[in-house]
Amino acid sequence: MNLEGAGTLFRKEILRFWKVSFQTVAAPVLTAVMYLLIFGHVLEEHVQVFPGVGYTSFLIPGLVMMSVLQNSFANSSSSLIQSKITGNLVFLLVSPLSHWAWFAAYVGASVVRGLAVGSGVFLVTVWFAPFHLAEPWWVIVFAALGAGMLGSLGLIAGLWAEKFDQMAAFQNFIIMPMTFLSGVFYSVKSLPGVWQAVSHLNPFFYMIDGFRRGFFGASDVSPWLSLAVVGTAFVVVATVSLRLLAIGYKLRS
């Protein structure tokens, strides 16, 4: 892999979202705060998922991880589709960059954006409810794996889509439902049996649950099971995206 070229592309992708950080970083943080204020105010006195943990405290890690996932996906997918539509993708195609370099740069930048937004959400919302980091290593592991997986999935979506409405459909009909049905706002144990089974088929659930484990030391399933599911999902999605990059899927036409 051309490390210098990959590093240059990585820096270009970082600058791409950072130059409009008010839109790419500040706006998602504000959205998460609005979710917290509305749901926390309405349900704080009515819902307690874990013993001794208020609903607002329970909600904050879910909002942080949701922001990480959505923005990691948005970064790589939007970059590719914009380059394809504006026509500047040709400059990358003629450069001596391997598919590994493309993958490292795009996914790396997606991880940076996802973690930047997640950190912003955490720093703003942490003042709304008391809690501590019970097992912080799970926070780091699941945040990194989740951001990497959604950055890779964003690559696949960006390669597949040929116009913005296709990308919007991918996000609205796949990413958003899987995120909102992953236990961000509730514990899956509160669902009827059939919906609990459906939730356990959603890899986003394991990301949220494992991430939340790092804050409270409690979770709906074992964090090791979550790690196995998320790790496997990341490997599968990364392998598919690397293969599509290697064959130039919808890049040269």
pLDDT-based confidence at residue 47 (cuts at 50, 70, 90): low
**Per residue in 139-198, pLDDT tens?**
999 999 999 999 999 999 999 998 888 998 998 899 988 988 888 888 888 778 888 888
Model-level pTM? 0.92
CA dist 241 → 80, 173, 221 (Å): 13, 20, 29
Q: Give the helix/strand (H/E) hosting 62.
A: helix 55-86
**Per residue in 52-61, pLDDT tens?**
777 888 889 9
Q: At what angle do helices 136-160 and 99-125 cross, to 10 degrees?
A: 130
* Residue-range definition of the domain harbouring residue 220: 3-44+51-247
Q: 160-191: buried (b, 16+ CB within 10 Å) or exposed (e) per residue?
A: bbeeeeebeebbeeebeeebebbbbbbbbeee
The pLDDT value given to residue 72: 96
Q: Which of 89, 239, 98, 108 is nearest to 158 (CA)?
A: 89
Q: Is the pLDDT of residue 37 over 80?
A: yes
Residue 253 within a domain: no
Residue 36 within a domain: yes
Residue 162 within a domain: yes
Total number of domains in the chain: 1
Here the contacts of 201-207 (C-beta below 8 Å, separation 24 or greater) are 202/178, 203/149, 203/178, 203/229, 203/230, 203/233, 204/69, 204/178, 204/179, 205/181, 206/230, 207/65, 207/69, 207/142, 207/145, 207/146, 207/149, 207/182
The pLDDT value given to residue 31: 93
Q: Is the pLDDT of residue 43 over 90?
A: no
- Average pLDDT of span 213-241: 94
* Least confident residue range of 54-63, 98-107, 223-232: 54-63
The pLDDT value given to residue 115: 97
Residue 141 within a domain: yes
The pLDDT value given to residue 194: 85
- Average pLDDT of span 18-29: 93
Residue 118 within a domain: yes
pLDDT-based confidence at residue 3 (cuts at 50, 70, 90): confident
Residue 60 within a domain: yes
